Amino acid sequence: MRPQAVTFDFHNTLARCDRWFQLEIRDLVPAFLRWHARQASSTVSDATLDLSVELYRKLRLDIMRHGVEQDAANCVNVVTRELGLEFEPETIERGLHDVMYAALDDSQPIEGVVAAVHALREKGIKLGVVSSAVYHPFLEWSLEKFGIDDAFEVIVTSASCGFYKSRTEIYEIALSALSVTAERAVHVGDSHRFDVETARKLGMQTIWLDEGDEATDSHRADVVVTSLAGVDLILLNGSPESRS
Amino acid at 219: H
Please tell me the distance from the alpha carbon of residue 66 to that of residue 64, in angstroms, as a whole number.
6
Delimit the domains of the chain by residue range. 5-16+109-237, 18-105
Burial of 124 (0-12, 13-18, 19+ CB in 10 A): exposed
The per-residue pLDDT for 219 is: 76
Q: Are 219 and 199 in contact (CB under 8 A)?
A: no
What is the CA angle 130-194-55, rounded to 5? 95
Q: Residue 130 pairs with which residues in a beta bridge?
A: 156
Helix (H, G, I), strand (E, B) or coil at 107: coil
- Fold of the domain built from segment(s) 18-105: Cyclin A; domain 1 (1.10.472)
The per-residue pLDDT for 244 is: 37
40 CB contacts (<8 Å, ≥6 apart)? none
pTM attached to this predicted model: 0.93
Q: Which helix (H) or strand (E) holds 209?
A: strand 205-209
Please tell me the distance from the alpha carbon of residue 197 to that of residue 149, in angstroms, as a whole number.
27
The per-residue pLDDT for 214 is: 64
The per-residue pLDDT for 14 is: 98
Tally of CB atoms within 10 A around 201: 12
CATH class of 5-16+109-237: alpha beta
Please tell me the distance from the alpha carbon of residue 162 to that of residue 153, in angstroms, as a whole number.
19
Helical ranges in 110-228 per DSSP H: 113-122, 137-146, 158-161, 169-178, 198-201
Kindly give the confidence (pLDDT) of every residue in the chain, 244 residues in length, as a single tens digit, with 9 standing for 90 and above: 789 999 999 999 999 999 999 999 999 999 999 999 999 999 999 999 999 999 999 999 999 999 999 999 999 999 999 999 999 999 999 999 999 999 999 999 999 999 999 999 999 999 999 999 999 999 999 999 999 999 999 999 999 999 999 999 999 999 999 999 999 999 999 999 999 999 999 999 999 999 876 656 567 899 999 999 999 999 998 654 444 3
The per-residue pLDDT for 242 is: 42
The per-residue pLDDT for 218 is: 64
